[in-house]
Every structure is written in structure tokens, then in C-alpha cells.
Structure 1
Amino acid sequence: MGILSPSLLWVFMSMLILHFLTAPVESQLQSPPADLLFTNGFAADAANLTLNGGAQVLQNGVLRLTNDSLRALGHAFYSTPVRFKNSFGGPAASFSTAFAFSTVPQYPGLGGHGLAFTISRSRDLPRAHPSQYLGLMNASDIGNFSNHIFAVEFDTVKDFEFDDIDDNHIGIDINSLVSNASVTAGYFADNSSTIQDIHLQSGEVIQAWVDYDSLRNQLDVRISESSVKPTRAILSFNVDLSEFFEETMFVGFSASTGLLASYHYIMGWSFSVNGEAKSLDLSSLPSSPGSGQNTHKGLILGVSVSASVIVVILLASIAIYVIHRIRTADAIEAWELDVGPHRFPYRELKKATQGFREKELLGFGGFGRVYRGTLLNSNTRVAVKRILNRSKQGLQEFVTEINIIGRLRHRNLVQLLGWCRRRNDLLLVYEFMSNGSLDKYLFDEPKRILSWEERFKIIKGVASVLLYLHEEGEQSVIHRDIKAANVLLDDDLNGKLGDFGLAKLYEHGADPSTTRVVGTLGYLAPELTKTGKPSASSDVFSFGALMLEVVCGRRPIEQKAMPEELILVDWVWENWVLGSILQVVDPRLGGQFDEVEAVLLLKLGLICSNRLPEIRPSMRYLVRYLEGDLIFPDNVLPPDGNYDIKNTCSGNSGCDGGPDYIRSYQNSSSSDKATSSSTANDGDLDLEAGPFSPAPSDSGNSSSNRLFGSEEVDRTNKGLTKSNGRD
């Protein structure tokens, strides 16, 4: 055979390379390194799984992702990555999976949070959180494109934070836990349009199918309580996963628990790339330990078949125990039957805090003491608030705090895990906030100096949760005690609002009323001393004081080495009038701060601290200012409210057919200062606006919503440039 000439060899190699480049994607994408068929459980092939968190393979081959531990997570991923793209890029491959799962709640009908079939760039997910995050993400990376996480969630808790449709749904999640599409769990029966509901927490075995067709860019999800795959998908979503998938990804499952727990089991699993996954025969799979029953039923069954002598001994033991409990325990009062969430045994909390010893004391106040603790059963770190029976708070505030915060869910709220009552001891159990309260980082000799970025993030977090409390929950919650000591910091220095002992719950639009003025001096809105009625606006006043002290590093009222006490808001206003506003910024920052953001917070702090509640903006507008969605105007009214409000509109153009207000300084001690400042105009301020409404619309077109500006702004310019290009 002759040797090929260089030219013929070049042609041959070119054709070979062209063949590989133009070959169909499916032919170049390999199947997983193993069959990925776990049709008889996972015992024989457990070595092919990477488990972390609470996940483990039981002796009968069932994969258990979580047990009854609270706020826990579990991951189980196929150890070897699966190739979804060829080395030259291009579209992602089609894939198909079928798996059988069972969710057994800790208490009948009460469990959480759910499980998810997951495709991820990592099999560890080290920064993932439990509870509503399903062990997939955390609060800081929701929506990040860099996550490269795809999941189909089977969620058993309705989380308002993620706009969940109900507490029994299927959702498709791409880089976020705000589902791209979701539907109540169920299936189409017999090719009809009738949907048969499936209760995910029934404890029964449910089979799920997830199929992605890369040619049609369509994702279909089906579930059933049988071995037969439904013809029609319960959830379909058009999406091209190519931009979210990397060349290789890990496939597996994630689950988590929260304030309540569920056992999440996987009994069998099949997975295929560029093919249809094999459906599972449910009758041949190992049974989950809790499928169709709970441990209490198992105990009863065991006792029923025991020897009679064991029954007698057991009954005698129960009788002795009941008599002991009657002698030593308090009677259950009516309110205890209606209070949630979890009630802890006193003995468990005593052990967790090592007998409430002084070494575990985190802090104390007028209502009691707060101890550090670790729950022995789950190794969960907690903070236990022990309310003194001689404190003024008493039983009513104790019940209030449980009922209010127990039903709230927000990433910037300190999570209430449970409660306990033993005789006169009242205890609340919260998630542990490792960095303590914000005031320890602002005043006197701080633990460390918070950077400007950390301070601004904390303010935005507190604003976000106040908006949720005031407007976005089922009922409006007025906190009534917003201050630095009640803002707690987690591991990442995220600010979380706590201490709801003084909070009030109202229907939206209701007229709040109370006969007792409560709160902390320096944070109390002035109208409370007259009306005694807390409102969203009085919370805004307290939030204004918080903003000023975070920027300035000073308390609202200080008595230092000076003849008179320092009123923080007056001091900030004086510097504003004199044109030296940046002089009030905490000197411990060493000048390292964003001047635009600092001026914004100081402006907002001043307007929120206004004596007149109708001048203060709502939390919805404050959040939009902080996010850079709205421009805050240059003019700032003096916080002492020393000006008149006159209705001068007579139907002229520019009034939009509604009232227009002119605020002018008259006989004010600050009028001379105002005249000399850049905010004055011959002693008068002409602001086209009226009182702020409690829940303003986003249009910003009415004259009553123009005081604080409503033009959309360029976010990239930190709120300095309006979108219309004007100064």
C-alpha cells in the first residue's frame, strides 16, 4: 500500500474533523457511567451515591433524605457527573427520570418542607440552607445565574417569600426557589381532563416522572400513585436548559425540614440521557418505614401482640407516670390548645441551656433573660428567651409573641422554633443568631466596626421585613419596638428583626387602638403620647431613628460629657441645614463609605422622623428608595413639623384635579437656618405633594404621591440619574 500524499491526508483529516463537528448532539452525549437504575432500592449500589446532611441508606435499601430533626437537610447525588453537553458546547441533551418517593410528616398533616429532584454543578451544596430553601440555596444566592441549579420541587409548605401557590404543590425551579411554573399536586385520570388530587404528605408511595425534550425545549412532570405513567403531564414548561446546564452536572435529590419535620424517602430511581427512563414497579420496591402508618401505630401493634404480663407491666408504668405528671405538671389552659408552633418539653430546654447557667447567658432586659442552648436531639443551636414571671410582659404578651411570629415567614425575621410553659416559667425558643444584636456593633466599644456595605445591607433587610409585616402578610403587624437591640445578625451579618412581645396584629385597613403607650424612648413616635394608637407610620418613625443611628453610630438620645443631652435627629438636621451633612457619618468608618447612599439614608431618616405622621412615607416607598427604584428629592422638611399645610389647589392644571399643598416655614426657630440652606426658597418650600397614603400605588401620578418623587431611575447610577435624563 502506498503512503497517502500530504494533500490527501489533509483532506481525510478535515473530513474526519467535520464529521465529529456536524454529528448529531445525541450521538456524542454519553449515557451516565452506570445504568442509574435503582429499581430494588439503594442497598446494593449505595457506593454509587454521595450522601450528606441527614441522608442515609437504610438496611432495607430505602434512601432516607431527612428524619424528624428540625431545620435539617439531606442530599443524595449520583457520585459521578452526567454529561449533558458535548465538549464543543451546543444544546443540552434530552433526559428522563422516574423515581418513587414517600413523605411521612412528623405529625399527621403537619410536616415540612419537601424534597426536590435536582441537577446541579455540585453534589455538596455547602452553602445551602434547610427549611424553605429545600437544601438547595440560601437567602443570598436566590436568582443568581451562577447557581446552575435545576430542580423539580415537591413542596409541602406554603412560603410567602417565594410566592408558593399552596402547601401541596409541584414547582419547576431554575436558579431560584421562586418557581418558574407550579401546580397543585395531582394527575389526569384516564386521559380525561379530570384531575385527581394527590396529597404529598399522605405517607403513601408516589411515583414521579420528569422528562425534558431538547428538540422541543419542553419539560413535562407527571406523578401518580401507581406504576403506570400518566399519558398527560400535570405540569409542562417551555424552556431551553442549554444556557443553565454546564457540560457535566450531578443528578440527585435534596430535602429539608423546618419548624416541623417530615421523613423524606426515595424507594427507587431510574435516569436516562437521550432516552426514556424506565418506570418503576411500585410493588417490587422496598417499603418506607412510615408508608401508610406512623410510629405510634407501630407501637400499638407491638403492644397488642405482646404477652399479657408485658401489657400489665406497661399499663402499670403508664399509670405511675400519669399520676406523677398530674402531681407535678400544670393544667393545660385553653389558650395552649390554640397556640403554635412546636411546644418543647421543659426538660429538653433545661438540658439545652445546661440548667440556664450564667455562662450561657446572652443578654437580659425588662422582660427576662436570653440563653444560648443546643438541642441535644438535633444538635441545633438555639436562643431561649426565659420570661420572668415578675416582669410586666406576662402571659398576654407571651401568647401574642407566639401567635404573631409563629405564623410569619421572611428571610429577615428571627425564626421562632417553639415555646414552653412550666408553672410560672414562660420560654420562647428562637434560631440562634451567632453575631448577636446590632447595637453591640454601633455604640460604646463595638465588637468590631461594621463596614458601610454591611450597614446598608442591614438597613435594606429591616426595611424589607417591615414592608412584609405592614402590607404583605395575611394581616398587618405593627412591631412597636424597632431599635438596634432588636435587630439581630446571623453568620453573614444579615439583619433580622426579632422581639415581637409588643407587636400588634390587625386586619388590613383596620383602625389600631390601644390604651397603653409602650416602646423605647428615642424611638417612640410623638403622636403615640396623644392618641396611644400604634400604626405603620409609628413603626416608620422608629425605623427612621434606626437609620440615623446606623449611619452615625450614635443612639437617638445621648448624655455624654456635655451639659445637655444630644438628640440625634436634631443634630443631623442642624448639620443638614449648615451643609455639613457628611460630618455626622460614624467617624469610625474612617471616611470609607458611599456618600450617595449615606446622604440617602440621612434624608430618609429625617423625613421618617417627622413629627407629623402624614409626612412620613410608607415602607413600600422606603424600600423602593433603598433599592434605587425612585429618586428622593433634594428638599427635606424640618423634622419638628414647624410649618403650615395649606390647600391652595383650585382645579388648576398641575393639580391633577386633586389637592396640592404648600408647606411654608412660619415663626420657626429653624426658619433662618432653612433660608440659608440650599433647600430654602425665600423661607418657603413649594412641594407639589400631599400627605402620604398608607399604601401608595406604584403609579406615582397623583398629587398625593409626589412629595418624595416617583420617577423611575437608572439603578446603575445609585439613584442619582432619572431615566428621562433630567438633573
Structure 2
Amino acid sequence: LTDISLQGIATVTPNGLLKLTNATFRKTGHAFYTKPIRFKDSPNGNVSSFSTSFVFAIHSQIPTLSGHGIAFVVAPTLGLPFALPSQYIGLFNISNNGNDTNHVFAVEFDTIQSSEFGDPNDNHVGIDINGLRSANLSTAGYWDEKDEFRNLSLISRKRMQVWVDYDSRSHRIDVTMAPFDSDKPRKPLVSYVRDLSPILLQDMYVGFSSATGSVLSEHFVAGWSFRVNGEAPMLTLSKLPKLPRFEPKRISDFYKIGMPLISLFLIFSIIFLAFYIARRKKKFEEELDDWETEFGKNRFRFKELYHATKGFKEKDLLGSGGFGRVYRGILPTTKIEVAVKRVSHDSKQGMKEFVAEIVSIGRMSHRNLVPLLGYCRRRGELLLVYDYMPNGSLDRYLYNNPEVTLDWKQRFKVIKGVASALFYLHEEWEQVVIHRDVKASNVLLDGELNGRLGDFGLARLCGHGLDPLTTHVAGTWGYLAPDHIRTGKATTGTDVFAFGVLL
């Protein structure tokens, strides 16, 4: 691997695996062949045929959720220094995504559904030209010998084969997948006809890009071949390096060390355990109705949130208001920083609809919304779990003689972010979402001081073109529109009024 340039968090393991990412949050990893590849005989000529084959695997600490994907990329430079992590997969950033001047061709294997890029699901393969809105895409999988489609899970932790072929005569791009140890299927997974001559320069660099987000994951490339004007050499699968073992060893160590001790003090342990379990069961008791089974993946255990916030200690209190107190926490299993809001809710009436609403809001993905990760329900209270915003709420920088203030450039950036979030809620999401409580304390600032609209505790959903169903006044005095106070009916216009007060 001496001819491979590693950038970002990319490394090579001792046994020869190309490891593009490690267990860190929101980072990029790139690996490029160090020498430029000549794709054209002249600067204005036609792109030659080319072919590549590689074997990759994705390992996520959460088996059902990954931190974004991996991409094969042809780029004009040795690396992509200005590319962002998370949904941008280390390929582009917010300003250059979709620009014709990028001269980038890529094939993405994406494990997160980003509605802003038109992703159909969280397990797809797409052909990208100068941007992340794929020219053509498909759910990950392959066509078997009987011409039947077989799904492949990109986060299965298993090695998978990929072939990418471009024909200079027909301008056809074919992307084919198959399980490890399988022959190349006759029928490609994704095809697209596009002359790449205006896209690619005479000399380009080839390699891989990957990125992590809020979920810890690792991306591996076990083998790779590439050729211009010919089919890429076949990989000798038996000689490729194996993936590391992903099974945790902690359980086996427990049984080796813990079981002999338990056997020595069995009677005392059983008595102690009975009292301990009874106390903990009462302490971590939750409410779980039959209708909540459909929301299982969006529900957190109270025990997990209790440990994440260290018992909801006052020192981790981020703020409080009329609808609850917010605590900072770190989820013990994934080490993700979260903000946990405890909301009093004594009545069961409407709880099913409210939880369904929370789950629906949690599916929204926008760079200027605080991601809602899930919920937990106990007797008399509801807990909402959000992504943690390290720079706190906007009101800290505006009121009560703050030690740190925002300059005008930063303020305009926050204003644009909140406006973008409201436009997404009102116009771009599958249902109209009326926030109902737009104010400075509900605008959170991330690590880069981007404004993110949060606190959907009062939010209500309604279909596009329909009147909102809520008719009671809720929100913060001073931000309420006169017609909202008069009629009790919240609309997108009342959100815009509150936004004007925020300005």
C-alpha cells in the first residue's frame, strides 16, 4: 500500500486492511492512489473506458444503524480537503454540492436516508455526478442466476464485492454488487447513460471516501483493482485480509472471572440480588402499552437515560422552562452526547397520537433542525432525547449581559439557519409541521455556531393544504401572533410572526 495516500482518519491495519474510518464522530477518511490516471488522450478528448473492482465492509457499533456510508470516487485532486462528514460522505460540502465545477464522479454506498438529497432509504447504491443527488440509484442488492433480486445489507458487517464499469462507446455506467465469494452477476444493479467527457479532466485521481456521523462505525476496503481501457483484474479473494473480530469479549471475561466468585457466595448473592432487583425495578419502572411496539426502535429505556445523565444531576442541567428540564448526557452504549428533556404529562389521553407525532418528527433530517433521536415514557412524565448542541441556546448570547456575543456575520448565519429550518417544516417535509414556539431559547447552536431549531414539544402536524387541527393557544407570550391569540388557531403564518419577533 505504498502508492496509497491516506487522509483524515484513514489508516492501514497490520494485516493490510484499508480502514477509512474509526470509532470517532463526524470525521472523514480518504484513500487515493497517489499517481494521476490519464482518462483522456487530450484535454478536450473523450473519456476512455475504465473498470474497477473492490471488496468493502461496514461495521457499526449499533447493528441496525450506521454512521453514513462509503464511496468510490474519481476526483481532480489528490484528496477532498473541503468535504464534510455525515451526510456528505466526505465528498462535498454545503456550498459546492451540485456544482458543475467539481469534476467529481462517485458511486455511493449510503447507509443513512437524507431527504435533502432524495435518498429512497437507508440502504442504497447511487451514481453521483458532481453532487449527492444521485443520477440513478437502487436499494443495495444483486440479481441472481434466476433473475431474482436479492437484498444486501450494507451494514451487515460482511464483505461485499463491487464492480464499476464505464464504456466509452455507449457512455454506459454499470454498478454491480454481489456477496463475497460469489461470481459477478450478469445483470448490473444500477445503470446510467452519461458521457463523462465533460465531467472528468484529462488526468484524475481514483480512490475512496467515507465519513462518520452521530453513530460510531468503521469502513473497510479489503481489496481493489482498477484499469483504464480494459476490465479490472480479478481479485484473488482467498488472499484478501480478513476483517477484525467484532464480537465483544467482555461477556466471556465476566463468565471466566465472575462465575467462580458467584459460586462461592451463591446464597448471599441470591438474597442480595433479590433486594437489589426489586429496588431497581421500582426505580427504573416504565409505562409500556401494547400500541408502543410499533415505535420500539425509537424508544429509549429509562435506565439507559438515567445512567447517561448520571441520575439527572443538577450539574448536568442545561436549562428549564414551562415544559420541562433539559439535562446533558452521554449514552453508555454508543457514547453519543445527548440532551434529555423531562416533560410532565399526567394524562394518558392523546398519548398514543403524541408519541406517533414525536416518532414522525424524529424521521426529519435537516441540517438546521436539532435531531430528535427518540423518547421514553414513565408514569407522569415523557422524556425526549435530542442530539446535544455544544454551544447551547441562542438566548445565552443575547440577553443578561452575556460574556460572549455573536458578531453580525454569525447572527446572519443563525438567522438563515432558522429560516431554512422553518421553510423545511412548512414546505419541504411530507407533512406541514407548525413549530408553535419559535424563540431564542429554542434555537440551539452546534459546534460551528450553526442555528438549529429545536424543542418540538409543542409541534403539531397537519397535511399539506389542510387547516391545522389545534385550536388552543400554546407558545410563549411576546412571540404569539395576534390572530393566534384571538382564534387559538396556529398556522405557518404564526410561526413566521414568531420568527419576526426573533429577528
Band of TM-score, shorter chain: 0.7 to 0.9
SS in 2 for 1:119: strand
Shift of 1:151: 1.7
Q: Supply the distance in 1 between the matched residues of 2:120 and 2:142 (Cα, whole angstroms).
A: 17
Which of 160, 168, 193 is the equivalent residue of 1:206?
A: 160
Q: Secondary structure at the match of 2:441?
A: helix
SS at match of 1:539: helix
Overall identity of the aligned pairs, in % = 45
Counterparts of 2:215 and 2:364, CA distance in 1: 14
* Alpha-carbon separation, structure 1, partners of 2:385 and 2:35: 41
Amino acid at match of 1:172: I
Distance across 2 between alignment mates of 1:371 and 1:123:
43
Shift of 1:277: 1.2
* Aligned amino acid, residue 505 of structure 1: L
* Equivalent in the alignment of 1:269: 224
- The whole-number CA distance in structure 1 between the counterparts of 2:21 and 2:269 is 31
Distance 2:33 2:86 in 1: 25
Q: Is 2:470 aligned against 1:470?
A: no
Unaligned runs of 5+ in 2: none
* Cα distance in 1, alignment partners of residues 435 and 265 from structure 2: 49
Matched, 1:327 2:327: no
Instruction: Provide the residue aligned with 1:89 in structure 2.
Output: 43
From the superposition, tell whether residues 490 and 139 of structure 1 become closer, same or farther in structure 2 (CA, over 3 Å).
Answer: farther
In the alignment, is residue 534 of structure 1 matched against residue 490 of structure 2?
A: yes
Counterpart of 1:256 (choices 211, 218, 234) is 211
The question of whether the paired residues in 1 share the 8 Å contact of 2:484 and 2:490 is answered with yes
> Which residue does 1:503 correspond to in 2?
459
Q: How far off is 1:184 after superposition? A: 2.2
Q: What is aligned with 1:175? A: 130
SS at match of 1:470: helix
TM-superposition CA deviations, 1:228-272 (whole Å, max 9, x none): 222332222233334443454443223334444544332222122
Q: Which has the higher contact order (CA 8 A, sep 6+)?
A: 2
Q: Which runs of 5+ in 1 are unaligned?
A: 1-44, 551-727
2:20 alignment partner, one of 47, 65, 68: 65
| Separation of aligned partners in 2, 1:314 and 1:507 | 64
CA apart distance, 1:102 = 2.4
Could you say if the C-alpha distance between residues 434 and 175 of structure 1 is closer, same or farther in structure 2, counting changes exceeding 3 Å? farther
Describe the shift of the 1:308–1:162 C-alpha distance in structure 2 as closer, same or farther (beyond 3 A): closer
Residues 322 and 121 of structure 1: CA distance in aligned 2, closer, same or farther (over 3 Å): farther
Take 2:44 and 2:264, find their aligned partners in 1: how far apart are those partners? 68
Distance 1:461 1:388, change over 3 A: closer
1:218 and 2:177 aligned? no
CA distance in 1, matches of 2:85, 2:372: 15
Match status 1:295 vs 2:247: yes
Match of 1:78 in 2: 32
In angstroms, what is the RMSD of aligned CA positions?
A: 4.5
In the TM superposition, what is the alpha-carbon distance from 1:279 to its structure 2 partner? 2.6
Name the CA shift for 1:420/1:462 in 2 (closer, same or farther; >3 Å): same
Structure 1 residues 264, 436: CA separation in 2 closer, same or farther (over 3 Å shift)?
same
Match of 1:669? none
Q: Which amino acid aligns with 2:424?
A: Y
- Of 119, 136, 147, the match for 2:74: 119
SS state of the match for residue 20, structure 2?
strand
Q: Please, which of 61, 79, 90 is the counterpart of residue 135 of structure 1?
A: 90
- Residues 214 and 149 (structure 1), Cα distance of their counterparts in 2 relative to 1, 3 Å cut: same
Q: Does 1:235 align with 2:235?
A: no
Distance in 1 (alpha carbons) for counterparts of 2:278 and 2:6: 49
Are 2:215 and 2:334, in contact at CA under 8 Å, matched by a contact in 1?
A: no
Q: Quick one: which amino acid aligns to residue 180 of structure 1?
A: A
Partner residue in 2 for 1:675: none
User: Counterpart of 1:155?
Assistant: 110
Residues 229-238 or 489-498, more deviating: 489-498
SS of residue paired to 1:183:
strand
Query: For the structure 1 residues 159 and 254, does the alpha-carbon distance in structure 2 shift closer, same or farther, using more than 3 Å as the test?
Result: same
CA contact (8 A) 1:62 1:266 kept: yes
Counterpart-to-counterpart distance in 2, 1:255 and 1:107: 18
Q: Is the CA contact (8 Å cut-off) linking 2:471 and 2:490 kept in structure 1?
A: no
- 1:410 lines up with 2:410 in the alignment: no
Matches of 1:229 and 1:137 in 2, distance apart?
31
CA separation of 1:385 and 1:172: change in aligned 2, threshold 3 A: same
Question: Within 2, Cα distance between the matches of 1:511 and 1:468?
Answer: 18
Correspondence for 1:349: 308
| Structure 1 range deviating more: 322-331 or 408-417 | 322-331
In the alignment, the residues of structure 2 paired with residue 321 and residue 223 of structure 1 have an alpha-carbon distance, to the nearest angstrom, of 51
Query: In 2 relative to 1, CA 444–308 (structure 1 residues): closer, same or farther, beyond 3 Å?
Result: closer
Question: Superposition pairs for residues 579-658 of structure 1, below 5 Å?
Answer: none
- Distance, in Å, in 2 between the alignment partners of 1:318 and 1:224 is 52
- Do 1:139 and 1:411's aligned partners in 2 also have CA atoms closer than 8 Å? no
Deviation at 1:364? 4.2
Distance (whole Å) between structure 1 residues aligned to residue 366 and residue 340 of structure 2: 20
Superposition deviation, residue 481 in structure 1: 0.5
CA contact (8 A) 2:262 2:269 kept: no
Structure with the higher strand share, 1 or 2:
2
Secondary structure of 2:482's match?
coil
TM-score scaled by structure 2? Answer: 0.78
The code of the aligned residue for 2:32 comes to Y
Change beyond 3 A, Cα 1:141–1:448: farther
User: Judging changes above 3 Å, is the alpha-carbon distance between structure 1 residues 212 and 325 closer, same or farther for their aligned structure 2 residues?
Assistant: farther
C-alpha offsets along residues 56-90 of structure 1, whole Å, 9 cap, x if unaligned?
43444333434565x44452413514233579623
1:316-359: CA deviations, max 9, x gaps? 79977786454224123216763654748346534699x552xx
Alpha carbons 1:117, 1:152 under 8 Å: kept: yes
After TM superposition, give the deviation of residue 402 of structure 1 in Å.
5.0
Q: 1:388 to 1:229 in 2, by over 3 A?
A: closer
* Counterparts of 1:440 and 1:401, CA distance in 2: 29
The alpha-carbon distance between structure 1 residues 457 and 388, as it changes in their structure 2 partners (threshold 3 A), is: closer
How far apart are residue 426 of structure 1 and its match? 6.8
1:421-432 aligned at under 5 Å gives the runs 428-432=384-388
Q: How many equivalent pairs are there?
A: 489
- CA gap 1:400/1:216 in 2 versus in 1, 3 angstroms: closer
SS in 1 for 2:359: helix
- Relative distance call for 1:166 and 1:346 in structure 2 (3 A) is closer
Q: What is the CA–CA distance in structure 2 between the aligned matches of 1:523 and 1:81, rounded to whole Å?
A: 59
Q: 1:482 to 1:404 in 2, by over 3 A?
A: farther
Equivalent pair of 1:81/1:248 in contact (CA under 8 Å): no
Inter-partner Cα distance in structure 1 for 2:36 and 2:193? 23
| 2:166 partner letter | Y
Larger Rg over CA atoms? 1
Distance 1:432 1:142, change over 3 A: farther
Deviation at 1:169, TM superposition (A): 1.5
* TM-score (norm: length of structure 1): 0.57
